[in-house]
Structure 1
Amino acid sequence: MNQIAQKGRLGFFLRRMLGLGSAIVIFLTAAQLFAHRHQRFYPDYPMADLSSILEKDRLSEADYETLFLQTGLGKAGVEELRSLGEAGEQQILDTQAAFFAKTATDCGSLGPTTREDHVVDENGNIIYGCPMAPMEDGDVFLAFSTHTLGWRHGHAGLVVDAARGITLEAVLIGSDSATANASHWSYYSNFIHLRLKDITPQEQQAIADYAMEHLNGIPYHLTSGVLSWEKAPDPDSPGFGAQCAYLVWYALYQAGYDTDSDGGRIVTVGDLAESPLFEIVQVYGLDPRSFG
C-alpha cells in the first residue's frame, strides 16, 4: 500500500512538474510573440525622388520634413551630411534606400530571459541596417530592440568619444558598465540617435569626460535612482550603480539637463525618447511620424 501511495505521489508530482513546464513554455512563447508584434517599422508611404531637394543651397522646413519621412534623418543629421558634399548627399540617398528596405531580423539571446532583435542577411548573419549619421560627444543612442519576457524596454548608450565612435553603456545585470563600438547600434532592428538642443562643444566634452570618469566600470543596478534617498546620489557613494537609461540620464543631469521626460524616480528608454530637450539626428526602423 505504501509503494502504491508513493507511486501515486510521484505520479502527481511529475504531472505537476510537466504542467508547470508546459505553462512556462507557453508563457515564454507568448511573450516572444507579444514582443515581436511591432519590432520593425516599414514606411506605408511611397519612396520619393530626393534629387530636387538635395540640389538646393538652402532647405525649407517642408524639405526637412520630407527628408525626415524619407530617410529618418533629422535636421541636424541632414545638415551634417550635406556639409560633406557629394559623399554626404550620397549617404543621404543610401540612408533612404536602407530606410525603405525590407530586411530580415533575428531574435538573439542576451541572457536567460532577455533577447535582442538584429538585422540579418539571407544566411542569418548580423549586418548593419543602415548608414549612421555623424555623431558628437554627448549624443545619445536608444533602441527598442531589446526585450525581456515580452516587455520591449529597449537599450540606451552615451557617446563618449565621437572621433573614435565609442559609446558608454550599462548592458546586463552582473556586468559593469563599459565602452563599446557605436557601430553596433546599426545592428539593431531599430534605433534613435539624439542630441541635446543648443548644446555647446564645451558642454559636450564635459559630459563625455564626466561619464568616463564617474560612470565607467560601475555595477549594473536595475533599481538605480529608486532605492536611494536621492534620485541622483553621489557616484562615489556605497552601492551606486546604473541601468542603461539611468546612466545616460545621470551623465546629462550632472551637466544641467534633466532628460527624464516624466520626472519619476525610474528612468526608462521611453522617458529619454520623449524628452523635449533632445533633437533627432536619425531614426531607423521606427515611424518618424511618432516623433513630433
Structure 2
Amino acid sequence: MHFKNKLIALTITALSISSLPIFAHASNGTQVGLLDLTSSEVQEELAKEEKETKFNKEQRSKAKKRKEINNLDDLKKNAPEKYKEIQNEQAKLTALASSGKMGTVGDILITYDNETSGWNHGHAAIVRKNNDYIVEAWPKEGVRVYKNNWGNRFDSAYKFYVKGADDTDFNNAQKYAYSQLGKPYQLNVQKHFTDAYYCSQLVWKSWYEQGFDVDADGGFLVTPADIDDSKLTVEY
C-alpha cells in the first residue's frame, strides 16, 4: 500500500476507534488537540518515523546493540532504591523469564512486534510500583492497567530506565500514567494533549511531567523508536 493510502487508512482508523466526545473546532478547521494529518509536515514525519521504526526493528532482529548497555552506575548514584530493585530483579531472571515480567518501577517497556490499528510502530508501556503490572494505552480500552507479562506477550521485548532520574522521578512517572486510567485511545493526538493517548505518547508524557523529554527527535509524534533512540533512555 502506498504511503498516501496508508495515511488515509490511519486517519480513518484513528477516528473510528476513538470514544472521545466531539471536540470544539479550532479556527484552522482541525479539531482541538488533534494532529492535522493532511499537513505536509505531519506526513513527512509519519514517513520518517516509519523508516526509523523499520531500521530499529531490523537492527534488533540482527541482535545488534544500538545502545551501550549501562553498568547501572548512574542509577546507583541517583536512584539507590531503584538500583536495589533492579539488582533483585536481575538475580531472579530465571524465575521471571517464565512469567514474562520485566522491569521495575517507572521503567519503559518497548516492543517492535505490535501493529495497532494500522500503526506499524510497535508498542510501549510503563511499569507500575508493583512490577506485577504495567500501565498502557490500548485500542478500544484506552489507558489501562495490565498484567506485566511483557516478555511472553511479545517476541521482541526491551526494558529501559531513564538516565539521571531519581527514585521520586521513577515513582511519579508511573503514578502520572496511572492517573490517566480510563482515558480513551487515540492515535492522531498532539503530544501534550491529555484527554486521550496512544501508547508511546502516554509513556513520553509521564516522563515529560518529571522533567525528562525522552523523544529523540522532538517531532509532532513520539514513537517507541523515538524513545529507544533517546539519549535519556538506557537499556539494561
Give the TM-score band, short-chain normalised.
Answer: 0.5 to 0.7
1:244-255 superposed matches below 5 A: 244-255=199-210
1:258 match: 213
Mapped to 2, the partners of 1:175 and 1:266 lie a distance apart of 21
Q: Bigger radius of gyration, 1 or 2? A: 1
Cross-structure match for 1:59: none
Summarize the Cα distance change of 1:160–1:149 in structure 2 as closer, same or farther, 3 Å threshold.
closer
Give the alignment's TM-score, normalised by structure 2: 0.59
1:137-192 CA distances to partner (integer Å, 9 max, x unpaired)?
A: 2110000011269864100001122x3421110111x3221001112343311011
Distance 1:182 1:256 in 2: 26
Q: Which amino acid aligns with 2:201?
A: Y
Equivalences for 1:191-206 in 2 at 5 Å? 191-206=157-172
Match of 1:55 in 2: none
Q: Secondary structure at the match of 1:157?
A: strand
**Aligned amino acid, residue 222 of structure 1:** L
Structure 2 CA distance for partners of 1:241 and 1:185, relative to 1, 3 Å: farther
Amino acid at match of 2:217: D
Contact 1:39 1:189 in 2 (8 A): no
CA distance in 1, matches of 2:143, 2:216: 23
- Where structure 2 has 5 or more consecutive residues not aligned to the other structure, the ranges are 1-53, 76-82
Alpha carbons 1:129, 1:189 under 8 Å: kept = no
Q: Is the 8 A contact 1:129 1:188 kept in 2?
A: no
Q: Which amino acid aligns with 2:228?
A: A
In 2, distance between residues paired with 1:150 and 1:210?
27
Pick the structure with more strand per residue. Answer: 1
CA contact under 8 A between 2:106 and 2:173: conserved in structure 1? yes
Kindly tell me the number of residue pairs found equivalent between the two proteins: 170
Question: Which of 101, 109, 113 is the aligned partner of 1:145?
Answer: 113
Once residues 222 and 149 of structure 1 are traced to their aligned partners in structure 2, the CA distance between those partners, rounded to angstroms, is: 9
Pick one of 177, 180, 188 that aligns with 1:223.
Answer: 188
How big is each residue's C-alpha offset from its partner over 1:60-105, in whole Å with a ceiling of 9 and x where there is no partner? xxxxxxxx89xx975349x8699459x82x84xx59xxxxxxxxxx
What is the distance in 2 between the residues matched to 1:178 and 1:41?
Answer: 29
2:137 to 147, 170, 191: 170
Contact 1:232–1:250 (CA under 8 A) maintained in structure 2:
yes
TM-score (norm 1): 0.49
Q: 1:241 aligns with which of 193, 196, 214?
A: 196
CA contact (8 A) 2:135 2:174 kept: no
Which residue number corresponds to residue 75 of structure 1?
71
Give the distance between the partners of 1:131 and 1:241, measured in 2 at CA. 28
What's the CA shift string for 1:222-272, capped at 9, x where partnerless? 1121xxxxx414x3xxxx200001010111111111111110111111111
Q: What is the alpha-carbon root mean square deviation over aligned residues?
A: 3.7
Alignment identity in percent? 22
1:13-66, CA deviations, whole angstroms, 9 ceiling, x for partnerless residues? Answer: xxxxxxxxxxxxxxxxxxxxxx9x95973659xxxxxxxxxxxxxxxxxxxxxx
> In structure 2, what is the equivalent of residue 212 of structure 1?
178
Match of 2:145 among 141, 158, 179: 179
Q: What is the identity, as a one-letter code, of the residue corresponding to 2:159?
A: H
